[in-house]
Structure 1
């Protein structure tokens, strides 16, 4: 009788721990996805800021003033 109660308890504990493990693995996968998304976003922003920096420093470029802007209409 005692050993059968031990088996039932152990089985129940194993199921609970398996459920916790699966939940932790899902959370880990969500965090990995978020990390990849953030790394891509950081790469995009750093590339843009690097281009802007090179344009300003090496090529002496700047944004045009409103008086220097020319609007071109599309022929469509």
Structure 2
């Protein structure tokens, strides 16, 4: 009887140690994943900021007034006068 009791106590003791080690491992893994999540959220926020900046820049570059200025200044284009206009008949 005493041998069975000693074996039971040893098994419970090993189970408790295994459970404690599992808790430590799970806690460490949870902390690592939380840190990874925080880093991923930081990168997401930086990318959102960059996207908003690029959308604003795209809007500025494609503004009609800027396109007209580039056409006039850099490409030497102008609005045609009435005598320069040619109407092409529709078929």
TM-score (norm 1): 0.74
CA distance in 2, matches of 1:60, 1:28: 50
Of 50, 56, 75 in structure 2, the residue corresponding to residue 51 of structure 1 is 56
What RMSD, in angstroms, separates the aligned Cα atoms of the two structures? 1.6
Give the equivalent residue in structure 2 for 1:2: 7
Q: Distance in 2 between matches of 1:3 and 1:50?
A: 69
Structure 1, gaps ≥5 residues long: 63-76
| 1:11-49 deviation line (CA, Å, top 9, x unaligned) | 010010000000011011101111110111001100111
Bigger CA radius of gyration: 2
Which structure has the higher relative contact order (CA within 8 Å, separation 6+)?
1
2:31 counterpart residue number: 26
For structure 2, the residue ranges without an aligned partner over 5 or more in a row are: 1-5, 68-91
Q: How many residues align?
A: 62
Runs ≥4 residues deviating over 6 A: none
Return the alpha-carbon distance in structure 2 between the equivalents of residues 60 and 17 of structure 1: 66
